[in-house]
Structure 1
Amino acid sequence: MTTLVIRKASVGPMDNNSYLLTCRVSGAQLLVDAAADLPRLLRLVREGSPSSRLDSIVTTHSHHDHVGALSQLVAATGARTFAGAADVRDIPTPTDEPLEDGALIRVGVNDLHVIGLRGHTPGSIALLWRGGEDGDHLFTGDSLFPGGVGATQGDAQRFTSLLDDVEHRIFDALPDSTWVYPGHGDDTTLGAERPQLGDWRERGW
């Protein structure tokens, strides 16, 4: 894309998706979810920057399969860490910058908008890059997948909270062309998922 390169790697026994965002203008780099497999993540970082520059690591939520290589990657790169404020206490590696809904994170000349999605965990977040002619790109962690929202362990209150946030903060705010990058598995678009919202609410998961 014009000002941003997005790279994706599947890592670890749970096939977590880690995403590397590289600013074409400044060379700044941000990783979404240092989930596992430090050697693979370091190779991913070098794909974007031969000098292994990594400025930031954002953790979408506190579950163990999303932070398995976090402490090692911080030690190897000196990157600053970001996570949803309500999840910080459950992340073993210290968080430099707790995030609330509406915050902004810079990747060179690019702004990432933080969207709070409460339910999968209390502090789950998504990251939105609005790329203009390059479209909208949304990194959803485990809060939104092809075919449904993230797991809420049968808790009706948590499910309603998550689906309400996903519906109002994502589907009501963004176009069908928005590309969705989940924490596991294949990408999707909001247009592909929008017709199913009523079915998700009815089934309760």
Structure 2
Amino acid sequence: MTVRIDHLVTSGTFSLDGGTWDVDNNVWIVGDDTEAIVIDAAHDAAAIEAALAGRTLRAIVCTHAHNDHIDAAPALAAATGAPVLLHPDDLPLWKQTHPERLPDGELTDGGTLSVAGTTLTVLHTPGHAPGAVCLYAAQLGTVFTGDTLFQGGPGATGRSFSHFPTIIDSIRDRLLALPPETVVRTGHGDSTTVGAEAPQLAEWIQRGH
């Protein structure tokens, strides 16, 4: 069966450092008619489960552990039996939201996940959060960047656990190395391409060092 990417937008709040903001999150579902992987179980486990439409969920992958990207993960895991996967460097953030329930497995740089005959490679891209990762699907010509890279520039680094020079290094070394036609599917907002972001990122790289 043909692999496809389904897109769901869920709404909720993001909370960190004593502040709370309303946010809309992108939830990405990669799979075919029988199995899938969810990237970032945000806000609404029931809506995500409905979008799966009975498919076997192989994994719930967290690009990072800010609450708006993981708040629905335990409920979705309970409903589907799928494991929650997170890079271990983001465990301190995870525990702020889910102190009683740890992730089920670890994401490691260079590790791979397979679904519907497609391989997703884990790229550790710290900066927005210590354990932030992107998922590169070469066969699909796309990378799922969470909050590391958006249309228009890097993710925010003004709060706890974030670091601007680190996110610039991650984007330069890991994401700009991908083919320019690679579609960037982000954690919030519209998609873009590596080639579209590369020229303006030169300014961000200079500003970060």
Tell me the TM-score range normalised by the shorter chain: 0.7 to 0.9
| Counterpart in the other structure of 2:204 | 200
Task: Structure 2: state its 5+ residue gaps.
Answer: 13-22
Matches within 5 A, 1:22-171: 22-23=31-32, 27-46=34-53, 51-91=54-94, 92=98, 93-131=101-139, 135-153=140-158, 158-171=163-176
Query: SS of the counterpart of 2:145?
Result: strand
Query: SS of the counterpart of 1:20?
Result: strand
Q: Distance in 1 between matches of 2:102 and 2:113?
A: 18
Contact kept? 1:23, 1:109, Cα under 8 Å: no
Alignment: residue pair count: 193
How much is the aligned-residue C-alpha RMSD, in angstroms? 2.0
Contact kept? 2:74, 2:84, Cα under 8 Å: no
Q: Distance in 2 between matches of 1:142 and 1:176?
A: 19
Q: Distance in 2 between matches of 1:35 and 1:147?
A: 22
Alpha-carbon distance change, 56 to 154 in structure 1, aligned in 2, over 3 angstroms: closer
Is 2:6 the partner of 1:7? Answer: yes
Alpha-carbon distance change, 146 to 45 in structure 1, aligned in 2, over 3 angstroms: same
Contact kept? 1:42, 1:52, Cα under 8 Å: no
Q: Distance in 1 between matches of 2:147 and 2:166?
A: 14
C-alpha deviation, 1:202, in angstroms: 4.0
After superposition, the C-alpha distances for 1:41-75 in whole angstroms (9 at most, x for unaligned) are 112111xxxx3421210010010111121111111
After superposition, the C-alpha distances for 1:100-154 in whole angstroms (9 at most, x for unaligned) are 21111111321110001111110000000011xxx51100000000111111117
Q: Distance in 2 between matches of 1:109 and 1:138?
A: 17
Query: SS of the counterpart of 1:21?
Result: strand
TM-score (normalizing by structure 2) = 0.86
Which deviates the most, 191-200 or 91-100?
Answer: 91-100
| Counterpart in the other structure of 2:16 | none
Is 2:192 the partner of 1:188? Answer: yes
C-alpha deviation, 1:3, in angstroms: 3.9
Contact kept? 1:100, 1:116, Cα under 8 Å: yes
Contact kept? 1:3, 1:110, Cα under 8 Å: no
Task: Structure 1: state its 5+ residue gaps.
Answer: none
Identity of aligned residues (%): 36
Query: SS of the counterpart of 1:196?
Result: helix
Structure 1 residue ranges (4+ consecutive) displaced by more than 6 angstroms after TM superposition: none
Query: SS of the counterpart of 2:38?
Result: strand
